[in-house]
Amino acid sequence: MRRAVLVIGATVVGLVGVLSFHTTPAKLTLGSLSAGTASRPATTTTPASASPPTTGPPPPTPTTAPATQGTTTASPPTTAAPPTTATPTTTTTAPSSTRSATGPSVDYNFGLISVTATVSGTKLTNVSIASLDDGGSPRSQSIDQQSIPILEQQALQAQSGNIQGVSGASYTSSGFQQSLQAALSQLGFK
Amino acid sequence: MGTIVTIDVYVDAGMPVDRLAAHVGRARSALHRADDVFSTWKADSPMSRLRRGEATVGQMPPEVAVVLDACRAARVLSDGWFDPWALPGGVDPTGYVKGWAAERALDALRMPDVAAAVVNAAGDIASFGGPAPGAPFRFAVVDPFDRTRLACVVEHTGALATSGTYERGQHLFDPRSRRATLAVASATVTGPELGMADALATALAVGGQDVLERIDALDGFEALVIGHDGARRSTSGFPWAPESVPSTVDPAA
């Protein structure tokens, strides 16, 4: 089974499609972003107001059972984006202006998540989880790198045997959305 | 806003990546197309212009008429508990369109080299095939009282939609009381097509028992409601997974 994750109708990400394969090391092939009218800034700035993460009853730690269909392998982490929670980061590597930014840590219903977006030119080349704190030990993207933004689905699916999806979890990952939008804004994308 | 959609395709392990990407790309295009036409968040979408009275249905892309006709059918089937024309702000078929769009994406995957597929649009699910030959898909329904837990598991290939307390937006509008009220905590509908299942789940969430009985009489659709008190009621053919079948039978019988 191969899974693709899309974000439809989001103000910022527009036509982004995220294609990720469980059976290969994390490889994301993405369409072009609309760069809007903003020129690429030379530096990034901290988001003006990051909504503070809400606190509630500590959520249960979801099991990290791999998907039951086919063979899945956890890919080794490919980038060393620091697992910071609220501080955006920028990395500029070599000539093709590859830049990354991390959005603020936001409540995603099972805990807190912050998202890193990497662009190269006008192309979004990577979206990954910078930090994930679900009440268990805080961890970084290496665990869920290929499987964003279906964290709630994963956590729920793992609670029962051989489940291929969960219905009714529509309030999914708005935290992921918020953090991603903030990261993209920092990179100059509306 | 933004709807998270996951697309699972079951294909031969040897399928070339670019062929797989082409399949998924068509499904993705179908979703974006539906969003471009029907999104009420986009000021210039045909649906937005229709709502503002700036254009007529005849001036719309053809799928608008198709969707509105289907909404009329859903309104009749649900005895008016699903009524996109009763919503403030003008006709809003969102409660049908999300499922309809997922079906269009699923259709794009009906290829000879795709054995099965699941399109999960923020918890509304359309599928064909199964996870293994001869096996139906198994989907869970989230617990409306604790969204980190599952309420039950169903075995169903086709359409599965759930409406309830976790839903946002005015499409959970009770056309009779003219308020956004929920008769139940969670309303789940299974059936052959997700647009209708979506509309019926929306109707069931506001109409409760009335709609449950209507769905019970409807061929091909089944439903489950979880009341605010936690009580569960379902149609007689609801496709429970074996481990979820409610034990209401007297074991001595």
Range of the domain at A141: 1-35+85-160+171-190
Say yes or no for a CB contact (<8 Å) between B139 and A166: yes
The domain in which residue B136 lies consists of 8-244
In angstroms, rounded to a whole number, what is the distance separating the alpha carbons of residues B170 and B89?
Answer: 10
CB-closest option in A7, A9, A62 to B39: A9
Residue B97 has pLDDT above 60, yes or no: yes
Instruction: Write the pLDDT tens digit of every residue in B194-226.
Output: 999 999 999 999 999 999 999 999 999 999 999
Task: Residue A109: list chain B partners with CB under 8 A.
Answer: 147-148
Distance (Å, rounded) from C-alpha A127 to C-alpha A19? 11
Residues A166-186: tens digit of each pLDDT = 898 654 456 666 777 788 788
Q: For residue B167, report the phi and psi dihedrals to the nearest 5 degrees.
A: -90, 145
Output the CA–CA distances (angstroms, integers) from residue B230 to B33, B143, B151, B224, in the order listed: 39, 10, 10, 12
Q: Across-strand partners of A6?
A: A17, B5
Assigned domain for B250 exists:
no
* CA-CA-CA-CA torsion sign (B134, B136, B137, B140): negative
Which of A37-46, A47-56, A94-103 tops mean pLDDT? A94-103
Q: Is residue A56 part of a domain?
A: no
Degrees (nearest 5) of the Cα angle B194, B199, B203?
A: 145
Any domain includes B2:
no
Q: Is residue A189 part of a domain?
A: yes
Least confident of A6-20, A127-141, B30-44: A6-20
Q: What is the pLDDT of residue A156?
A: 67
The B residues from 171 to 200 touching A (CB cutoff 8 Å) are 186, 188
Question: Is the residue at A68 inside a domain?
Answer: no
Q: Report DSSP letters for B174-230, one per residue.
A: BTTTTB---SSSEEEEEES-HHHHHHHHHHHHHHTHHHHHHHHTSTT-EEEEE-TTS
Q: Which residues of chain A make contact with B1, given a CB cutoff of 8 A? A: 9-11
Average pLDDT on B80-89 reads: 91
Asked if A1 lies within 8 A of B35 by C-beta distance, the reply is no
Identify whether A18 is part of a domain: yes
| pTM of the complete model | 0.69
Q: Which residue has the higher pLDDT, B151 or A87?
A: B151
- Kindly state the percentage of chain A with pLDDT values over 90: 1
Residue B251 lies in a domain: no
**Measured between alpha carbons, how far is B94 from B71 in angstroms, rounded to an integer?**
10
Residue A15 lies in a domain: yes
Confidence tier at B236 by pLDDT (50, 70, 90): very high
Predicted confidence band of residue A47 (pLDDT cuts 50, 70, 90): very low
More confident residue, A10 or B183: B183
Radius of gyration of chain A (CA): 16
- For residue B174, what pLDDT is reported? 73
- What pLDDT, on a 0 to 100 scale, did the predictor assign at position B176? 76
Question: Nearest Cβ partner of B150 from A149, A160, A170?
Answer: A160
In a domain, A182, yes or no: yes
Using pLDDT thresholds of 50, 70 and 90, give the confidence band for residue A137: low
Between these two residues, B150 and A93, which has the higher pLDDT value? B150
Q: Which of A3, A5, A6, A21 to mutate to test the interface with B (most CBs of B within 10 A)?
A: A6
- What is d(CA A160, CA A163) in angstroms, rounded to the nearest whole number? 7
pLDDT score recorded for residue B151: 93
B202 touches chain A (CB under 8 A): no
| Tally of structural domains, chain B | 1
Q: Considering only CB atoms, which chain A residues are within 8 Å of B171? A: none
Please tell me which of the candidates B13, B127, B153 has its beta carbon nearest to residue A163.
B153
Q: Tell me, what's the ipTM?
A: 0.89
Whether chain A has a CB inside 8 Å of the CB on B73: the answer is no
On whether the CB atoms of residues A115 and A145 are closer than 8 A, the answer is no
Question: Is B161 near chain A, with CB under 8 Å?
Answer: yes
Predicted confidence at residue A180, as pLDDT, reads 75
Rounded to 10 degrees, the C-alpha dihedral B67/B69/B72/B74 comes to -60
Would you state the structure tokens that stand for residue A149, as one six-digit string? Answer: 């933004």
- Contacts of residue A67 in chain B, CB cutoff 8 Å? none
In a domain, residue A2? The reply is: yes
With both helix axes pointing from N to C terminus, report the angle between B94-107 and B17-38 in degrees, rounded to the nearest 10.
160
Q: Is B209 among the domain residues?
A: yes
How sure is the predictor about B248, in pLDDT bands with cuts at 50, 70 and 90?
Answer: low
Whether B240 maps to a domain, the answer reads: yes
In a domain, B59, yes or no: yes
Cβ neighbours of A17 (radius 10 Å): 25
Domain count, chain A: 1
Q: Does B149 touch chain A if contact means CB atoms closer than 8 Å?
A: yes
CATH of the domain at B54: 3.10.520.10
Between B6 and B64, whose confidence is greater? B64
Query: Is there a domain that residue B3 lies in?
Result: no
Greater confidence (A156 vs A145) lies with A156
Residue B8 contacts A, CB cutoff 8 Å: yes
Chain A residues whose CB is inside 8 A of the B186 CB are 168
Q: Which residues of A touch B122 (CB under 8 A)?
A: 169-170, 172
What integer pLDDT is reported at residue B61 of this predicted model?
Answer: 97
In a domain, B118, yes or no: yes
DSSP class of A75: P
Question: Does B32 contact chain A (CB < 8 Å)?
Answer: yes
Q: pLDDT band for position B118 (50/70/90)?
A: very high
